[in-house]
A and B are shown apart, each in its own frame.
Chain A
Amino acid sequence: MKRLIVLVSFSCLASFSVPVWGQEKEAPPEQGQKIDFAKTIQPILRASCYSCHGSDAQEGGLRLDNRSRAFAGGDNGKAIIAGEIKSGLLLTLIKGSDEDLGRMPPEGEGTPLTEDQISLVENWIAQGAEWPDSADIAITSDHWSFQPLSRPAIPEVKGKDWIRNPIDQFVLARLESEGIRPSQRASRSTLIRRVYLDLLGLLPSAQEVEQYLNDQRIDAYQQMVNGALQSSHYGERWGRHWLDLARYADSDGYEKDRARPYAWRYRDWVINSLNADLPFDQFTVAQIAGDMLPEASVSQRVASGFHRNTLHNTEGGTDQEEDRVKKTVDRTNTYGAIWLGLTVGCAQCHSHKYDPVSHREYYQLYSFFNSMNEQDVAAPTISEAATYDEQLAVYTAEHEKLVKARMQYEVDQLPTALGKWLEVDADLIYQWRPLTNAMMTSHHPSTFKLLADGSVLVEGENIRSDIYTVTSTANSLSGIRLEVLPDDSLPSKGPGRAENGNFVLTNLQVLVRQVGTDGEFTPIKIGRATADFSQNNWEVAKAINENQDDGWAVSPEIGKRHVAVFQLDDVISFETGVEFQVVLHQKYETGATHNIGRFRLTTTDFDGVLALEGTPGNVLEAIAADPRNDEQNKVLLDYYKHIDESYKQLVQAEKEHESKSPPMPGTKAQSVVELEKPRQANIHLRGNFLTKGEAVATLGLDILPSVQAEGDQLNRLDLANWTVSKENPLTARVTVNRVWQRYFGRGIVETSDDFGIQGSEPTYPGLLDWLATEFRDKGWSLKDLHRLILNSAVYQQQSAHREDLAEIDPDNELLARQYRSRVEAEIIRDLALKASGLLADRIGGPSVRPPQPSEYSALTYANSAKWQTSEGDNRYRRGLYTFFQRTSPYPMLMTFDAPDSNTCITRRSRSNTPLQALTIWNDVVFTECAQHLGRRIVDEVKVSGKSDEDIKQRVNHVFLTCLSRRPTRPEMVAVTSFYKSQVERMAEDEQAARDVLGQAPMPEAASLAETASWVAVARVLLNTDEFITKE
């Protein structure tokens, strides 16, 4: 019985093998004698260490047979540090000097190194650990998929008649050697339906079938394939396959699972790129690093939104760095799965058990993806951009008129008006004056420290709800200005004394009396309060209202100066002058203590609307100057622009018109940007982002040819370019294999997600490499690859199971027949919509929400997942446009095994359950399809008058529409008899007939009972196995 040895997963630097070095005792090195690595040290390592830390195994990610890997160290850190004998795990472990780590090789599994050997190793390290090139061993693997990709010879075969292209030669050569004959070519009906399902995921229409069946041209099949390849539904069909890999969804996932309103931009980019047959190398680079391409286009940025398909956690309390690391891990793993066909993710926590990917290498690869930030970019669709440009032209013409008018006024009239103002009104200037003889008191024992600029710093104990009272005098008074000021001594630099730097001025009062009297101070009404900034819900006006619980505050604009002006209703003046008190109440009692920390009061008696800053000093200077220089004239003119009513009106008109500028198209796309300064990547021990191990460089995998840097250091764009370079042996193989898999049910390598050592061997290695070179060397055209496969005889075989193969090839690995399979979830929906004629076959656009079962909709969900059924023909869009809400996906899709979109999926599972039967039979969408299909059959077949003939024609038509073929005799008999029985039932129960038929108008060509019976027939056809199967 196979049992894992219990401790394997923990062992790292564990289990050196039994040492087998010679018995001869080596002479201890003489002082100063240079130790030769190849002669002395390498034999020791080879004998004692290589079996666990060599080419076959790299326990703990450590490899001691290759220089760079030996110096890089293992998962736990450096093994050898040249010249350094105090640290470095190799010495520590062979000496056993750290009790916790133990000794290598382990007790019971090998004799420890002799003292002499240890000191040899130690001295070698002390001398600088020289390791000459001649003693270095390159890292290689004999695993097939890592070998360079070269073009294999096409094998010779006997049955040349069968051959349509080289694919067939590879397959037939093997079949001939096994003594198996291939299956016959499938019928034309089967072929057109197969090609349409495979390429477009849609049915050919009855007309298209008829046309193909009657096409006499010798290349009718090739023409049919070419026609299908032109259809833009091709991009939808193959785009959906790609979206499985790209783990595309319309929401974030996790608890909040917020909708992603722009996710579809990436989806549409995929569809459009495939339709345009964007070469796969460009298709690849755009997704891995489109944002980094020189002068990246909007479309390339949208493509890099590939990286935004990860889950995204917005739950409260989420550690942002943890979420970022999780995404980066997912990006690394997804890259590995899609382009390398490797399960690199296994090395996230420890060195890969099977594949030559160490823990360190994983984080080196991870490092390529570690320096991107997420960014939504404006990405108008083409039609949006056109509309916008049009509107913008109209607006700009209008706006320019207004700008011109203003500029004209500036030149023609403004200087004259300024002159007049200077003569007549220039005394309308004022300044905020500092207080004189001010006295300050505090309700609590706070102390006030007067600063040089006339401001006051409040010190002493910070007790809740302080009241500051400032008393001073002025000749007359029309307003008070309160400046609250930052100060380094205050928490968060103030201006408040609360921990976060905020304050709350709950009320500001002004009281006056005549100078020289002892009477009571009289409160004065403050008519208006304005401020440069107020906290949301804490407007400055609340400092002068009746309510004592609210007031003025300034978060989040903390650590800055703020100004509030309190204007009195009248100008107060007394003959002897005004003595006034300003009382600052800070009665904030619910949270932390919120007193003001530093402030300054100034006053004015200007009889006009008070502004925050008064008349600026340089304006005052310019007014006073005589003569004025140019600078002063300019200052005055600029200042006067804010005073001149006509000018202000012109400016206002311009501003108002600006609001009429056409809105920028709101459509954005998810994208990424690369940081200018890359983030340093570290090994995460055991995959835990908090336990950082050593820092690692950005590097590709050792086993593969190295990634070359275009600039100073390797980055994501270099990786993208390398991925599609000739040096990389994997991407072309992995990609053609996945395409092959879609056509034949299984890849030439069955484990299409694992080309590593645990993966399966290719069943046709020559064919795989031939296809891969054909694909790579002839311009990476996916459409050419499809054409090649579709035109092979292998593809065009019948799919019926063969008794002679049941024992020898139950899984059809040898491809002596085609493969029949139920189509994918989305395609089942598409076929039903297409057959019924309901399909709205527009390409692209935002995702839609088709109807779903009422029991399901009735479930209460968080707001984010509310299902608002789409209106109009958006109810009838293809399955791939259905809004994919990760936590509550559309049930029909899940019933038919759509992936959950959380990870990259290269192969879907394919179940066959009664729940699927219930869905097609009873679900509201399929019911509606049956109703339309039933009416369609009646509408589209002309009535002959002979009842039996009409029935026959209609049965023919429904078969052609749904199954792309005419019925066999037994089928015709069965359907006809069913139809007749239904007509009888419907005739007996008119209401039932109406319900079966549904809302839509009745066709004229048949009675209610007849039409309803055709609906029943249509419903049966949609439920046949053949309808949802690619034969």
Chain B
Amino acid sequence: MDITNELRQQSRRDFFTSASSGLGGLALASLLKDDGIVHGAEANPLIPKFGHFAPQAKRCIFVFLAGAPSHVDLYDPKPVLQQRHGQGLPKELTEKVRFAFIKKESAILMGSDRKFRPHGECGMELSDVLPHIGSCADDIALVRSMHTDAFNHHPAQLMMTTGVPRFGRPSMGSWLTYGLGCETNDLPAYVVLSAGRGSSGGVSNWTSGFLPSTYEGVVFRGDGEPVLNLNTPNGYSRDMQKDSLGLINSLNRIRLEQQKDTEIASRINSYELAFRMQKAAPELIELNAETQETLDLYGVGRKEPEKTNFRGGGANVYGQFSRNCLLARRLLERGVRFVTLMHASWDHHSNLSEEISYNAGMLDQPVAGLLKDLKRRGMLDDTLVICAGEFGRTPLGENRGGNKQNTGRDHHPYAYSLWMAGGGIQGGQVVGKTDDIGWAPVEDAVHVNDFHATALKLFGFDHHRLVHEFKGLNVRLTDQGGKVVEKLIA
């Protein structure tokens, strides 16, 4: 028997023994609290588990478009908006909305520079900056009627990732790994990859909140080597590293029994995982085994644009995002449950036309490549791919930065678009509709909590029942709301 495995079994046994003997029982009680979904009180908190019913999705990739892209320039064509370019808000809106705040001269509608055309058999209309994603239209369910509660980036990002616009709650990836564990012992259950600029929400977007830190997202580096310090120092063989792991764990376990702090249990898990990652990660990161055709599909090594001084821009960020997408597939193949791909910056208050082309150029090919690659490998059926920002952008133009005219759009929480594919999603359809100018949903409005409820269902969870008791409350990802959007599910 592989000694590593034996060691792991050993540590599980120890955990289990301690739990039943009452030592460290507190830690384990809170780790493994039987809330109806966590089966088999194994010591390894990440052991694979099942939800409330048969799942359609087993893994998730969440492409997070931080900064919030413009829905009317990417996903939601508005001919009426084009016609009314330069005009004030239509009367039916001014009656409902009053602007004492936006300056009158800037409160004018701004048409999109983008051309939309239908894609696939379903005829989904998408912007000309997303040709590759367009070629996957029949696998995609596009929601054009999203809306959220928060107006600014950080709260709105937390809304998308944790279900409430405040600090301290577990992220969606943490909830899923808490509920499902993961199918690898060698890599983190939940990995975050980011290219280019970070997000204003930062670590709070992948935090485990009040859940043990074992469930938090582990950030792989965005530039150069994804994981540092994988090599054992000179002189230490794998066996010696294993010896040292054994003693570190023994000492930590003795301490856990005294202090009963779940952080120590998480630390033990971290070291065990680190040890296994040393073996598994180099192989994960090494892309030599991929064919040139696959690399090209994702755009790894594609030409970087000449002009890169955009938000989220920089040398090699195109290539980096391509590598991240490919890395995401490789992570899933190896049993990782949840991958967040943080993507650059979509906060286009000015110079939207150029900015959106640059960012969409970075996004389009690799993400489409990812969908196609998952599909041909038979992985798309049970992999949920989500591509979303935190809110939309105003159909009104915004003039920031002293331009002669409006060149950007402001934050718009009242309507935006996102899409999902695979993992039980009924592709080739558009759900929901906004009004003529993309201001607010007029059909099938989908709140962020509805989106979460739907995603949880795909993973086999009743969102009302995936809960964690915290301060006497049953807290859940969908806060106090959320209803499943059945239309989205195949």
Q: Which residues of A contact B (CB under 8 A)?
A: 1-4, 6-7, 9-14, 60, 74-76, 100-102, 106-107, 255, 319, 322, 350, 685-686, 688, 690-691, 799-803, 806, 810-811, 820-822, 853, 855-856, 858-859, 891, 895, 897, 900, 909, 911-919, 921-924, 927, 968, 970-971, 974-975, 978, 981-982, 985, 989, 991-997, 1012, 1016, 1019-1020, 1023-1026, 1029, 1031
Contact at B248–A60, with CB atoms within 8 Å? no
Q: Is the CB of A1031 within 8 A of B188?
A: no
Q: What residue of chain B has the Cβ atom nearest to residue A912's Cβ?
A: B213
The CA of A2 and the CA of B479, in the complex, are separated in Å by 9
Can you give 29 A-B contacts (C-beta < 8 A)?
Answer: A1-B447, A6-B147, A6-B440, A100-B88, A686-B410, A690-B399, A690-B401, A690-B402, A691-B399, A800-B259, A803-B25, A806-B29, A811-B471, A855-B225, A856-B224, A856-B225, A912-B213, A913-B216, A913-B219, A917-B273, A917-B275, A921-B244, A985-B237, A985-B243, A1016-B244, A1023-B271, A1024-B252, A1025-B255, A1026-B251
- Kindly list 20 other residue pairs between chains A and B, CB separation below 8 angstroms, not including A1-B479, A801-B261: A2-B479, A4-B150, A7-B414, A10-B102, A686-B101, A691-B106, A691-B399, A806-B30, A853-B228, A912-B270, A913-B219, A917-B267, A918-B227, A971-B251, A974-B247, A982-B240, A996-B233, A997-B235, A1025-B252, A1025-B268
**Using Cβ atoms and an 8 Å threshold, which residues of chain A touch B150?**
4
Stretch at the interface among B76-84, B92-100, B121-129, B138-146: B92-100
Taking a contact as CB atoms under 8 Å apart, the answer to whether B254 and A14 are in contact is no
Residues of chain A within 8 A of B228, CB atoms compared:
853, 855-856, 891, 895, 915, 918-919, 923
Interface residue? B218 (CB, 8 A): yes
Bound-state Cα–Cα, A107 to B103, Å: 22
Q: Nearest B residue to A12 by beta-carbon distance?
A: B100
Q: Is the CB of A859 within 8 A of B259?
A: no
CB-CB under 8 A from A811, the residues of chain B are 471
CB within 8 Å for A2 and B224 given contacts A12-B100, A801-B260, A1012-B235? no
B274 close to A918 (CB less than 8 A): yes
B387 interfacial by beta-carbon distance below 8 Å: no
Contact, CB under 8 Å: B188 / A10: no
Q: Which residues of A contact B266 (CB under 8 A)?
A: 912
> Inside 8 A of B98's CB, which chain A residues have their CB?
10-14, 101-102, 106
Report A326 CB to chain B, min CB distance, Å: 12
Task: Return B185 CB to nearest CB of chain A, in Å.
Answer: 12
Tell me the bound Cα distance from A319 to B274 in angstroms. Answer: 47
Query: B427-460 vs A: 1/0 string, CB under 8 Å?
Result: 0000000000000100000010100000000000
Assess whether B5 is interfacial by the CB under 8 Å rule.
Answer: no
Q: Number of contacting residues on B, CB 8 A?
A: 93
CB distance from B160 to the nearest CB of A (A): 15
Contact of A1024 among B106, B248, B260, B480 (CB under 8 A): B248
Report if B292 contacts A (CB, 8 A).
no
A995 touches B234 (CB 8 A): yes
Which residue on chain B has the smallest CB distance to residue A319? B402
A10 & B97 in contact (Cβ 8 Å cutoff): yes
Closest residue on chain B to residue A751 by CB atoms:
B167
A36 to B259, CA, bound (A): 72
Residue pair A985, B240 in contact (C-beta under 8 Å): yes
Query: A909 touching B203 by the CB < 8 A rule?
Result: yes
CB neighbours of B400 from chain A (8 A):
688, 690
Nearest 6 pairs between A and B by C-beta?
Answer: A995-B235, A1-B481, A917-B274, A996-B235, A12-B100, A912-B213
Contact B254 A971 (CB under 8 A): yes
Q: Give the chain A neighbours of B101 by CB distance below 8 A.
A: 10-12, 60, 75-76, 350, 685-686
Residues of B within 8 A of A107 (CB): 95
Determine whether B26 belongs to the interface, using a CB cutoff of 8 Å to chain A: yes
Q: CA of A996 to CA of B236 in the docked complex: distance in angstroms? A: 7
Residues of chain A within 8 A (CB-CB) of B104 are: 100
Taking the complex as formed, is B18 at the interface, i.e. its CB lies under 8 A from any CB of chain A?
no
CB within 8 Å of A: which of B38-83?
A: none
Q: How far is the CA of A970 from the CA of B104 in the complex (A)?
A: 75
Q: How far is the CA of A913 from the CA of B103 in the complex (A)?
A: 48
Q: How far is the CA of A994 from the CA of B233 in the complex (A)?
A: 12
Contact B244 A911 (CB under 8 A): no
Rounded to whole Å, the gap between the CB of A289 and the closest CB of chain B is 31
Give the complex CA separation of A765 and B243 in angstroms: 51
Q: Is B333 part of the contact surface with A, judged by Cβ < 8 Å? A: no
Bound together, the chains give a CA A688 to CA B101 distance in angstroms of 12
Residues of A within 8 A of B213 (CB): 911-913
User: What's the Cα separation between A102 and B229 when bound, in Å?
Assistant: 63
Most-contacted residue by chain B among A691, A820, A913, A974 (CB, 10 A)? A913
Q: A1016, B207: Cβ atoms under 8 Å?
A: no
Min CB distance, B275 to chain A, in Å? 8
Q: Which residues of B contact A13 (CB under 8 A)?
A: 98, 100
Most buried by B among A10, A799, A919: A10
Contact partner, A974, options B202, B214, B251, B413, Cβ 8 Å: B251
- Asked if B381 is at the interface (CB within 8 A of a chain A CB), the reply is no
Give the residue of A919, A982, A1031 whose beta carbon is less than 8 angstroms from that of B243.
A982
